[in-house]
Amino acid sequence: MLFTSVLRALPAALLFSGTQATPLDFESRQISIDAFITTQTTASINGVLANIGGGSKAPGVPAGIVVASPSRTNPDYWYTWTRDAALTYKALIERLVHGDTTLRQKVDDYVSSQAKLQGVTNPSGGPTTGGLGEPKFNVDMTQFTGAWGRPQRDGPPLRATALAIYANWLADNGNKTYAVNTVWPVIANDLAYAVQYWNQTGFDLWEEVNGSSFFTLAATHRALAEGAALATKLGQTCTGCATAAPQVLCFMQSFWTGSYIDSNINVNDGRTGKDANSLISSIHTFDPSAKCTDATFQPCSSRALANHKAVTDSFRSVYAINKGVAQGKAIAVGRYSEDVYYNGNPWYLTTLAAAEQLYSALYQWDKVGSITVDSVSLAFFQDLVPSVTAGTYAKGSATYTSITSAVKTYADGYIAIIQKYAPSNGGLAEQFDKSTGSPLSAVDLTWSYAAFLTATERRAGIVSPSWGENFNNLPPTSCTGTPACNAKITFNVRATTTFGDNIFVTGQLTQLGNWDPNSAKALSASQYTSSDPLWTTSIDLPASTVFEYKYIRKTSAGAVVWESDPNRRYTTSAGCGSSATVNDTWR
């Protein structure tokens, strides 16, 4: 009966429709937000399903595989990204939990396909040597071997979260055996990866910056916290989850600058760090049972609201279509203001993320029963209600009502941006032009469709189940950190040199300088002889990790000489604290 009542409570537009979206003429686009949401929801769910194996725009693609976009040239997005697929299926699983049982087979297909992908050896490694951090695969589930920003450590925790929601639902609806035997093994692999690699750098969700990503850490904290609880529920073990989770949360605090979240740290990327990465983090880790917790950057927290203002304001002057829009009014939002991809434009999914955070905050304030305005969040609130001052305003008070009304209007403004710049047939690309609003880059981006579904569901008060934030929101008083799972690798290379020359090693790992000669690691000539020109050094590197590297020679004149191609390739030894030696000869 509970299941039936939930199903009936869903708005009709949120239930799956197998019919294709009907193109809309120009006049019908000029309709209310509610009516637009109804039609665009149908287009969006159809858009998602069309891009999954067996769908109309994913011909020949295996069941359960999410194609990022049907676009195969300029740009070529005919791949399956672990991150995109996980966020897409999280949206579908949430719909399943709320009663759309037509999605059950699709979700089971996802479980099966991901179990197979976890076993595919790829440039990031094998199933137990870092391969789960590979960002994308060919749509036929084979490895992608081209150059790319790898590893990307957000994929495993995102997939673990999507499947944890499903496993909990299965266990609560008489399918615990299936959850234990089929779903949990996939989750367990991803959680083991997260435990081992959370404190190693990697590429951010935009696959451009190799450092410490706030989004990756936020996704990892949630996955470890809910993974530990799920393991207990299913009678399984999540080794290291409960101990790593608070340390991840502790590390997350270092991204807070005092006025916004610096989305990428431990890297010199020349950016302010004001990045929609942080908006997407807030909506992914939203817990409907949580209070406005600063430590977990919940949507209604002072930190998350101040960050919302900082990030969105950073786009007010960089896009022509935002020109003249006043503070406190919605604008088109991109990834980050310094973006140059396709000359830097707004994205549908980032604009929707700005709306979704606000809808989630409204949900939380309603449950908490009050709104607190403090020195951190005051500027955000004053953009919307200029007369507001610091204080706590109870639900039902005039100030509470004026704030929530203003926030709702503000959030709806972001949906109106989508309405204004979406094509008449409801197709959502990746970007829209910063001067004209015309769609750009990949057509029918699956993530864009999924982002519309989750934003408008939050607007309707339809939320994901709690992940236990209330029991996992207190960071330790000091970040001692989980001991890094490193292996000590000794690099030996025989390279004949002249006086004043020095040999260095560099490669794709942060510990090797990310291919930057200025950050390369020096080798010692202390054992060098004319008969054995040995250069050597020992470096702590992540255990069970595949990487590419090369040696370089820096001459006394300051020139940098790289050894000949191809890149060298090595897999570090397994086991925390293990050691191994690499013996090479300069070529």
Catalytic entry in 207, 338, 540, 548? 207
Kind of pairing, strands 521-522 and 502-507? antiparallel
Domain 486-585: CATH class, spelled out: mainly beta
Confirm whether 204 is a catalytic residue: yes
For residue range 280-338, list pLDDT tens digits in order. 999 999 999 999 999 999 999 999 999 999 999 999 999 999 999 999 999 999 999 99
Q: Where are the domains of the chain?
A: 23-460, 486-585
The matching CATH number, chosen from 1.50.10.10, 2.40.33.20, 3.30.470.10, 1.10.340.30, for 23-460 is 1.50.10.10
User: Catalytic residue among 100, 204, 356, 412, which?
Assistant: 204
Q: Are strands 486-494 and 579-585 parallel, antiparallel or unpaired?
A: parallel
For residue 440, give the nearest of 361, 346, 313, 337 by alpha carbon: 346
Provide the whole-model pTM.
0.83
Is 207 assigned a catalytic role?
A: yes
Q: Maximum distance among all alpha carbons in the chain? A: 86
Residue 401, phi then psi, degrees to nearest 5: -65, -40
Find out whether the peptide bond into 156 is cis, omega within 30 degrees of 0: no
- Consult the annotation and say whether 365 binds a ligand: no
Sign of CA dihedral 260, 261, 263, 265: positive
Cβ proximity of 158 and 85 under 8 Å = no
Angle among Cα 82, 471, 376 to the nearest 5 degrees reads: 85
Residue 165: which of 213, 204, 223 has the closest Cα? 223
Residue type at position 57: K
Does residue 151 have a cis peptide bond before it, meaning omega lies within 30 degrees of 0?
Answer: yes
> From first to last of its 587 residues, what are the pLDDT tens digits of the chain?
333 333 323 433 333 333 333 333 434 444 699 999 999 999 999 999 999 999 999 999 999 999 999 999 999 999 999 999 999 999 999 999 999 999 999 999 999 999 999 999 998 889 988 899 999 999 999 999 998 988 999 999 999 999 999 999 999 999 999 999 999 999 999 999 999 889 888 899 999 988 889 999 999 999 999 999 999 999 999 999 999 999 999 999 999 999 999 999 887 778 999 999 999 999 999 999 999 999 999 999 999 999 999 999 999 999 999 999 999 999 999 999 999 999 999 999 999 999 999 999 999 999 999 999 999 999 999 999 999 999 999 999 999 999 999 999 999 999 999 999 999 999 999 999 999 999 999 999 999 999 999 999 999 999 999 999 999 999 998 887 545 678 899 999 999 999 999 999 999 887 898 888 999 999 999 999 999 999 999 999 988 888 899 999 999 998 999 999 999 999 898 777 789 999 999 99
pLDDT in tens, 181-209: 999 999 999 999 999 889 888 899 999 98
**Token pair of 135 as six digits:** 């960002």
List the beta bridge partners of residue 190.
Answer: none
